[in-house]
Amino acid sequence: MALPAYASPLERVWYYSFRTICGLIFFFLIAPIVIIIPLSFNAVPFFTFTPEMLSLDPAGYSLKWYEDFFTNLNWQGAVRNSVIIAFFATILSTALGTVAALGLSRPDMPFKTTIMALLISPMIVPLIISAAGMYFFYTSIGLASTHLGVILAHTALGTPFVVITVTATLVGFDNSLVRAGLMCGATPQRVFFKVIMPLILPGVISGALFAFVTSFDEVVVVLLVGSFEQRTIPWQMFSGIREQISPTILAVATLLVSVSICLLISVEWLRRRGERLRGITAT
Protein backbone atom coordinates (compact mmCIF):
# COMPACT_ATOMS: atom_id res chain seq x y z
CA MET A 1 0.00 0.00 0.00
CA ALA A 2 2.13 2.78 -1.30
CA LEU A 3 1.06 6.30 -0.52
CA PRO A 4 -1.09 7.60 -3.37
CA ALA A 5 -0.17 10.92 -4.95
CA TYR A 6 -3.49 12.50 -3.95
CA ALA A 7 -3.06 11.77 -0.22
CA SER A 8 -3.90 14.66 2.07
CA PRO A 9 -1.23 16.03 4.46
CA LEU A 10 -2.99 14.33 7.38
CA GLU A 11 -2.87 11.01 5.57
CA ARG A 12 0.78 11.61 4.84
CA VAL A 13 1.55 12.19 8.53
CA TRP A 14 -0.46 9.13 9.54
CA TYR A 15 1.24 7.02 6.86
CA TYR A 16 4.72 7.84 8.13
CA SER A 17 3.88 7.68 11.80
CA PHE A 18 2.23 4.27 11.29
CA ARG A 19 5.39 3.02 9.58
CA THR A 20 7.48 4.38 12.44
CA ILE A 21 5.29 2.65 15.02
CA CYS A 22 5.59 -0.64 13.11
CA GLY A 23 9.35 -0.14 12.86
CA LEU A 24 9.54 0.28 16.62
CA ILE A 25 7.51 -2.89 17.20
CA PHE A 26 9.76 -4.85 14.84
CA PHE A 27 12.71 -3.41 16.74
CA PHE A 28 11.15 -4.63 20.00
CA LEU A 29 10.81 -8.10 18.47
CA ILE A 30 14.29 -8.44 17.10
CA ALA A 31 16.49 -6.31 19.37
CA PRO A 32 16.61 -8.75 22.31
CA ILE A 33 17.85 -11.47 19.99
CA VAL A 34 20.46 -9.32 18.30
CA ILE A 35 21.74 -7.72 21.48
CA ILE A 36 23.08 -10.93 23.01
CA ILE A 37 25.42 -11.54 20.09
CA PRO A 38 27.91 -8.72 20.86
CA LEU A 39 27.45 -9.28 24.60
CA SER A 40 28.62 -12.87 24.24
CA PHE A 41 32.05 -11.62 23.09
CA ASN A 42 32.43 -9.68 26.32
CA ALA A 43 35.88 -9.77 27.99
CA VAL A 44 34.47 -9.32 31.52
CA PRO A 45 32.10 -11.68 33.30
CA PHE A 46 29.04 -9.41 33.16
CA PHE A 47 25.97 -9.10 30.98
CA THR A 48 26.79 -5.48 30.13
CA PHE A 49 28.51 -3.42 27.45
CA THR A 50 31.85 -2.17 28.78
CA PRO A 51 33.34 1.19 27.68
CA GLU A 52 36.04 -0.76 25.79
CA MET A 53 33.36 -2.59 23.82
CA LEU A 54 31.57 0.62 22.93
CA SER A 55 34.79 2.20 21.66
CA LEU A 56 35.35 -0.95 19.55
CA ASP A 57 38.63 -1.63 21.33
CA PRO A 58 39.70 -5.23 20.55
CA ALA A 59 40.73 -5.64 24.20
CA GLY A 60 37.08 -5.37 25.17
CA TYR A 61 36.19 -8.45 23.19
CA SER A 62 37.16 -12.05 23.75
CA LEU A 63 36.21 -15.56 22.79
CA LYS A 64 36.73 -16.97 26.27
CA TRP A 65 33.04 -17.71 26.91
CA TYR A 66 32.94 -19.77 23.76
CA GLU A 67 36.09 -21.51 24.88
CA ASP A 68 34.46 -22.18 28.24
CA PHE A 69 31.42 -23.64 26.52
CA PHE A 70 33.48 -25.98 24.35
CA THR A 71 35.74 -27.16 27.19
CA ASN A 72 33.42 -27.19 30.20
CA LEU A 73 32.30 -30.75 30.94
CA ASN A 74 28.93 -29.59 32.32
CA TRP A 75 28.07 -27.90 29.04
CA GLN A 76 29.44 -30.72 26.93
CA GLY A 77 27.31 -33.21 28.88
CA ALA A 78 24.32 -30.94 28.39
CA VAL A 79 24.89 -30.79 24.63
CA ARG A 80 25.21 -34.56 24.44
CA ASN A 81 22.03 -35.11 26.48
CA SER A 82 20.08 -32.55 24.49
CA VAL A 83 21.04 -34.14 21.19
CA ILE A 84 20.35 -37.70 22.34
CA ILE A 85 17.00 -36.86 23.93
CA ALA A 86 15.84 -34.62 21.08
CA PHE A 87 16.95 -37.17 18.47
CA PHE A 88 15.01 -40.09 19.90
CA ALA A 89 12.01 -37.99 20.86
CA THR A 90 11.86 -36.61 17.30
CA ILE A 91 12.08 -40.04 15.65
CA LEU A 92 9.42 -41.49 17.94
CA SER A 93 6.97 -38.61 17.73
CA THR A 94 7.37 -38.27 13.97
CA ALA A 95 6.65 -41.96 13.39
CA LEU A 96 3.69 -42.10 15.78
CA GLY A 97 2.31 -38.73 14.71
CA THR A 98 2.52 -39.39 10.97
CA VAL A 99 0.74 -42.73 11.20
CA ALA A 100 -1.94 -41.22 13.42
CA ALA A 101 -2.41 -38.28 11.03
CA LEU A 102 -2.91 -40.73 8.14
CA GLY A 103 -5.65 -42.43 10.15
CA LEU A 104 -7.25 -39.16 11.21
CA SER A 105 -7.41 -37.89 7.64
CA ARG A 106 -9.38 -40.89 6.42
CA PRO A 107 -12.98 -39.93 5.78
CA ASP A 108 -14.32 -42.87 7.80
CA MET A 109 -12.43 -42.19 11.01
CA PRO A 110 -14.80 -42.71 13.96
CA PHE A 111 -14.95 -40.17 16.88
CA LYS A 112 -12.69 -37.86 14.92
CA THR A 113 -13.12 -34.69 17.01
CA THR A 114 -12.71 -36.42 20.35
CA ILE A 115 -9.59 -38.26 19.25
CA MET A 116 -8.13 -35.14 17.68
CA ALA A 117 -8.72 -33.26 20.95
CA LEU A 118 -6.97 -36.01 22.91
CA LEU A 119 -4.01 -36.10 20.53
CA ILE A 120 -3.59 -32.32 20.63
CA SER A 121 -3.93 -32.12 24.42
CA PRO A 122 -0.19 -32.28 25.26
CA MET A 123 0.16 -28.97 23.42
CA ILE A 124 -2.71 -27.31 25.31
CA VAL A 125 -2.03 -28.50 28.84
CA PRO A 126 0.53 -26.20 30.51
CA LEU A 127 3.95 -27.76 30.77
CA ILE A 128 4.05 -27.49 34.54
CA ILE A 129 0.90 -29.62 34.83
CA SER A 130 2.15 -32.24 32.36
CA ALA A 131 5.48 -32.28 34.14
CA ALA A 132 3.89 -32.65 37.59
CA GLY A 133 1.66 -35.51 36.43
CA MET A 134 4.55 -37.24 34.71
CA TYR A 135 6.66 -36.80 37.81
CA PHE A 136 4.07 -38.54 40.02
CA PHE A 137 3.59 -41.41 37.57
CA TYR A 138 7.16 -41.86 36.33
CA THR A 139 8.49 -41.89 39.90
CA SER A 140 6.12 -44.69 40.80
CA ILE A 141 7.25 -46.88 37.88
CA GLY A 142 10.96 -46.04 38.08
CA LEU A 143 11.13 -43.92 34.91
CA ALA A 144 12.02 -40.70 36.72
CA SER A 145 15.65 -39.56 36.42
CA THR A 146 16.26 -41.80 33.41
CA HIS A 147 16.96 -40.80 29.83
CA LEU A 148 14.10 -43.04 28.73
CA GLY A 149 11.65 -41.18 30.95
CA VAL A 150 12.63 -37.79 29.53
CA ILE A 151 12.55 -39.15 25.96
CA LEU A 152 9.05 -40.57 26.45
CA ALA A 153 7.86 -37.31 27.99
CA HIS A 154 9.31 -35.23 25.15
CA THR A 155 7.84 -37.58 22.58
CA ALA A 156 4.41 -37.03 24.08
CA LEU A 157 4.92 -33.25 23.95
CA GLY A 158 6.15 -33.34 20.34
CA THR A 159 3.44 -35.50 18.74
CA PRO A 160 0.69 -32.82 18.50
CA PHE A 161 2.92 -30.73 16.20
CA VAL A 162 3.52 -33.69 13.90
CA VAL A 163 -0.20 -34.57 13.87
CA ILE A 164 -1.14 -30.97 13.03
CA THR A 165 1.42 -30.41 10.27
CA VAL A 166 0.89 -33.80 8.59
CA THR A 167 -2.91 -33.48 8.79
CA ALA A 168 -2.57 -30.06 7.16
CA THR A 169 -0.62 -31.50 4.21
CA LEU A 170 -3.17 -34.29 3.87
CA VAL A 171 -6.04 -31.81 3.45
CA GLY A 172 -5.32 -31.35 -0.22
CA PHE A 173 -4.36 -34.98 -0.70
CA ASP A 174 -5.89 -36.67 -3.73
CA ASN A 175 -6.94 -40.17 -2.70
CA SER A 176 -7.33 -41.32 -6.30
CA LEU A 177 -3.52 -41.34 -6.47
CA VAL A 178 -3.51 -44.15 -3.89
CA ARG A 179 -6.18 -46.06 -5.78
CA ALA A 180 -4.29 -45.56 -9.03
CA GLY A 181 -1.15 -46.93 -7.42
CA LEU A 182 -3.01 -49.96 -6.09
CA MET A 183 -4.68 -50.56 -9.45
CA CYS A 184 -1.33 -50.51 -11.16
CA GLY A 185 -0.41 -53.44 -9.00
CA ALA A 186 1.69 -51.87 -6.22
CA THR A 187 1.50 -53.32 -2.73
CA PRO A 188 0.08 -50.99 -0.02
CA GLN A 189 3.59 -50.61 1.41
CA ARG A 190 4.95 -49.59 -1.97
CA VAL A 191 2.10 -47.13 -2.44
CA PHE A 192 2.88 -45.63 0.95
CA PHE A 193 6.58 -45.13 0.28
CA LYS A 194 6.34 -44.22 -3.41
CA VAL A 195 3.10 -42.22 -3.59
CA ILE A 196 1.95 -40.99 -0.18
CA MET A 197 5.31 -40.34 1.47
CA PRO A 198 6.82 -38.02 -1.19
CA LEU A 199 3.66 -35.91 -1.14
CA ILE A 200 3.36 -35.54 2.63
CA LEU A 201 7.11 -35.32 3.21
CA PRO A 202 7.18 -31.51 3.68
CA GLY A 203 4.56 -31.84 6.42
CA VAL A 204 6.41 -34.73 8.03
CA ILE A 205 9.70 -32.86 8.03
CA SER A 206 8.29 -29.62 9.38
CA GLY A 207 6.42 -31.62 12.04
CA ALA A 208 9.69 -33.35 12.90
CA LEU A 209 11.42 -29.95 13.17
CA PHE A 210 8.70 -28.72 15.52
CA ALA A 211 9.06 -31.88 17.59
CA PHE A 212 12.84 -31.42 17.65
CA VAL A 213 12.58 -27.81 18.78
CA THR A 214 9.99 -28.73 21.41
CA SER A 215 12.34 -31.26 22.92
CA PHE A 216 15.49 -29.20 22.41
CA ASP A 217 13.95 -26.13 24.04
CA GLU A 218 11.99 -27.83 26.80
CA VAL A 219 13.08 -27.36 30.39
CA VAL A 220 10.15 -27.80 32.80
CA VAL A 221 9.78 -31.55 32.21
CA VAL A 222 13.54 -32.07 32.40
CA LEU A 223 13.62 -30.16 35.70
CA LEU A 224 10.94 -32.37 37.26
CA VAL A 225 11.25 -35.75 35.53
CA GLY A 226 15.00 -35.65 34.95
CA SER A 227 17.96 -34.97 37.21
CA PHE A 228 21.54 -33.73 36.79
CA GLU A 229 22.34 -36.83 34.74
CA GLN A 230 19.68 -35.84 32.18
CA ARG A 231 20.65 -32.15 32.12
CA THR A 232 20.01 -30.58 28.73
CA ILE A 233 21.19 -27.24 27.35
CA PRO A 234 18.07 -25.38 28.56
CA TRP A 235 18.38 -27.08 31.98
CA GLN A 236 21.97 -25.89 32.22
CA MET A 237 20.97 -22.38 31.14
CA PHE A 238 18.07 -22.29 33.60
CA SER A 239 20.16 -23.32 36.57
CA GLY A 240 23.01 -21.12 35.35
CA ILE A 241 20.79 -18.02 35.33
CA ARG A 242 19.47 -18.91 38.79
CA GLU A 243 22.83 -19.61 40.40
CA GLN A 244 25.78 -17.80 38.89
CA ILE A 245 25.36 -15.68 35.82
CA SER A 246 28.25 -16.21 33.47
CA PRO A 247 28.41 -14.90 29.89
CA THR A 248 28.92 -18.51 28.79
CA ILE A 249 25.12 -18.55 28.79
CA LEU A 250 25.20 -15.71 26.25
CA ALA A 251 27.68 -17.62 24.12
CA VAL A 252 25.35 -20.63 24.19
CA ALA A 253 22.42 -18.34 23.43
CA THR A 254 24.23 -16.94 20.38
CA LEU A 255 24.94 -20.46 19.14
CA LEU A 256 21.28 -21.37 19.69
CA VAL A 257 20.18 -18.32 17.69
CA SER A 258 22.23 -19.58 14.76
CA VAL A 259 20.55 -22.97 15.15
CA SER A 260 17.14 -21.32 15.10
CA ILE A 261 18.03 -19.33 11.98
CA CYS A 262 18.85 -22.63 10.24
CA LEU A 263 15.55 -24.09 11.46
CA LEU A 264 13.60 -21.06 10.29
CA ILE A 265 15.15 -21.26 6.83
CA SER A 266 14.40 -24.96 6.46
CA VAL A 267 10.80 -24.64 7.66
CA GLU A 268 10.12 -21.68 5.36
CA TRP A 269 11.68 -23.51 2.43
CA LEU A 270 9.55 -26.58 3.15
CA ARG A 271 6.39 -24.52 3.47
CA ARG A 272 6.93 -22.83 0.11
CA ARG A 273 7.84 -26.12 -1.55
CA GLY A 274 4.70 -27.70 -0.11
CA GLU A 275 2.55 -24.86 -1.37
CA ARG A 276 4.15 -25.09 -4.81
CA LEU A 277 3.57 -28.84 -4.97
CA ARG A 278 -0.07 -28.48 -4.07
CA GLY A 279 -0.49 -25.81 -6.68
CA ILE A 280 -0.98 -22.92 -4.26
CA THR A 281 1.40 -20.23 -5.41
CA ALA A 282 2.57 -17.81 -2.79
CA THR A 283 2.61 -14.77 -5.04
Partner 1 sequence: MASVTAAPEVMVTADGTPLKVSLHRALRRNKIRAFLLVLPLLAFLGFTFLWPIGVMMFRSVENSLVSTVMYRTVPLLAQWDETTGDLPDEAVFEALVQDVTEGFKNRTIGKVGTRLNYEEPGMSSIFRTSPKKFKKITEGPYKEKVIEAHKGWGDVDKWRLIKREGRPFTSSYYLAAIDRKLDNLGSITSQPAERQIYVKLFIRTLWMSALITGLCLLLGFPISFLLATLPTKTSNLLMILVLLPFWTSLLVRTTSWIAILQQHGVINDILVAIGLVSDDARLGMIHNQIGTVVAMTHILLPFMVLPLYSVMKTIPPSYMRAARSLGANPALAFWRVYMPQTVPGIGAGGILVFIIAIGYYITPALVGGTKGTLISNFIDYHMRVSLNWGLAAALGIILLGLILFLYIIYDRVVGIDNMKLG
Q: What is the secondary structure of 95-134 as a DSSP string?
A: HHHHHHHHHHTSTT-TTHHHHHHHHHHHHHS-HHHHHHHH
Residue 13 binds to partner 1 (criterion: CB under 8 A): no
Residue pair 150/82 in contact (Cβ under 8 Å)? The answer is no
* 120 near partner 1, judged by CB under 8 A: yes
Per-residue burial over 46-66, b if 16 or more Cβ lie within 10 Å, else e, is: eeeeeeebeeeeeebbeeebb
Q: How many chain residues touch partner 1 (CB under 8 A)?
A: 96
Binding to partner 1 by residue 197, rule CB under 8 A? Answer: no
Indicate which single residue of 3, 13, 22, 63 sits in contact with partner 1 (rule: CB under 8 A).
Answer: 22
CB of 244 to partner 1, least distance (A): 13
Of positions 3, 13, 83, 128, contacts partner 1 by CB under 8 A? 128
Cα dihedral sign for 147, 150, 155, 156? positive
Maximum CA pair distance of the chain? 74
Q: Rounded to whole angstroms, how far apart are CA atoms 105 and 263?
A: 27
Residues in contact with partner 1, shown as a per-residue x/- string from 73 to 92 under the rule CB under 8 A: --------------------
Return the residues of window 139-158 that contact partner 1 according to CB under 8 A: 140, 152-153, 155-156
- DSSP 8-state class, residue 2: P
Residue 125 found at the interface with partner 1 (CB under 8 A): yes
Using CB under 8 A, which residues numbered 206 to 265 contact partner 1?
206, 210, 213, 216-217, 219-220, 223-224, 234, 237-238, 241-242, 245, 249-250, 253, 256-257, 260-261, 263-264
Within residues 162-181, the interface with partner 1 by CB under 8 A covers: 163-165, 167-168
Select from 69-77, 94-102, 173-181, 191-199 the region that touches partner 1 (CB under 8 A). Answer: 94-102
Q: Does 55 bind partner 1 (CB under 8 A)?
A: no
Rounded Cα distance between 153 and 149, Å, is 6
Distances from the Cα of 21 to the Cα of 10, 28, 60, 98, angstroms: 16, 11, 34, 42
Q: Could you say whether residue 135 binds partner 1 (CB under 8 A)? A: yes
Burial 221-234 (b: 16+ CB within 10 A, else e): bbbbbbeeebbbbb
Distance of closest approach, residue 184 Cβ to partner 1, in angstroms: 21
Q: Smallest distance from the beta carbon of 134 to partner 1, in angstroms?
A: 5
Binding piece for partner 1, criterion CB under 8 A, among 34-42, 64-72, 174-182, 189-197: 34-42
The yes or no reply on residue 277 touching partner 1 (CB under 8 A) is no
